């Protein structure tokens, strides 16, 4: 029996690659996108639900699937308002997890970040840590949290500071050995590949994946 997947954040770097992979994956006959705006030119297997993701509860009746891939994320540069930032990076994933639990969706995957820690004094890290904690509180059967380092790839939007950061990181990457390996740049392609593999090879447990783990899975699948 073919499956249905939900993607949140399908217009972002990782989400757009994930969407293309799921379109091509014959195990899935329906992909549901919940977005602020419609994406043109997608095949019939993709169903789009348009609205305010900060009010994700409005989609509860349509939020039915076998798997949820949450690729939502913003940056402090793009969203300097901390209240709005938290509504996006914390509020949307946690609401999605609650809807998944209520609608008996057994598999929930979410992209967090390296350094996520709810006890951190750094706002960004604390927000991600709080999000992880409250997602795990839903006790969804298969909950997978991915903690990538700096994500590499070609974005549709211009994030100048991130591009500069990527260039600098690429220069100093040879220095990242041993315990520092987890800080190496990871390609969005690897994250998308690992997410699909993890969703289809369930461990029935809560799993937190670092960049190193993600890369290994992507290389072997």
Task: Convert the pLDDT of each residue in 4-57 to its tens digit.
Answer: 999 999 999 999 999 999 999 999 999 999 999 999 999 999 999 999 999 999
Over residues 114-121, mean pLDDT:
93
CA distances from 188 to 15, 68, 132, 154 (A): 9, 18, 20, 9
49 vs 155: CA distance, rounded Å: 23
CATH topology of domain 3-220: Rossmann fold (3.40.50)
pTM, to two decimals: 0.87
121 vs 34: CA distance, rounded Å: 32
Q: Where are the domains of the chain?
A: 3-220
Task: Convert the pLDDT of each residue in 145-165 to its tens digit.
Answer: 999 987 775 544 455 545 555
122 vs 30: CA distance, rounded Å: 39
Structure tokens belonging to residue 14: 């990782």
Query: Residue 208's beta-bridge partner residues?
Result: 145
209 vs 154: CA distance, rounded Å: 23
Structure tokens belonging to residue 194: 């690992």
């Amino acid at each position: 029996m073919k499956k249905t997947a939900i993607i949140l954040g399908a217009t972002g770097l990782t989400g757009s690659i994930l969407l293309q992979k799921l379109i091509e994956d014959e195990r899935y006959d329906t992909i549901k996108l919940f977005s602020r705006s419609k994406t043109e030119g997608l095949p019939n297997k993709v169903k789009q639900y348009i609205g305010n993701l900060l009010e994700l509860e409005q989609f509860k009746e349509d939020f039915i699937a076998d798997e949820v891939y949450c690729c939502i994320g913003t940056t402090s540069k793009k969203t300097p308002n901390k209240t709005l930032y938290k509504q996006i990076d914390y509020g949307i994933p946690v609401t999605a997890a609650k809807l998944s639990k209520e609608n008996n969706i057994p598999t929930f995957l979410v992209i967090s970040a390296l350094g996520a820690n709810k006890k951190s004094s750094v706002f960004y890290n604390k927000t991600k840590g709080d999000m992880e904690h409250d997602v795990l509180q839903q006790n969804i059967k298969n909950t997978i949290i991915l903690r990538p380092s700096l994500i590499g790839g070609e974005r549709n939007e211009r994030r100048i500071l991130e591009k500069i950061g990527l260039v600098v990181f690429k220069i100093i990457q040879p220095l990242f050995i041993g315990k520092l390996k987890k800080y190496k740049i990871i390609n969005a392609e690897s994250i998308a590949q690992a997410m699909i593999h993890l969703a289809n090879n369930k461990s029935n447990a809560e799993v937190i994946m670092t960049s190193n783990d993600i890369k290994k899975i992507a290389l072997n699948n």
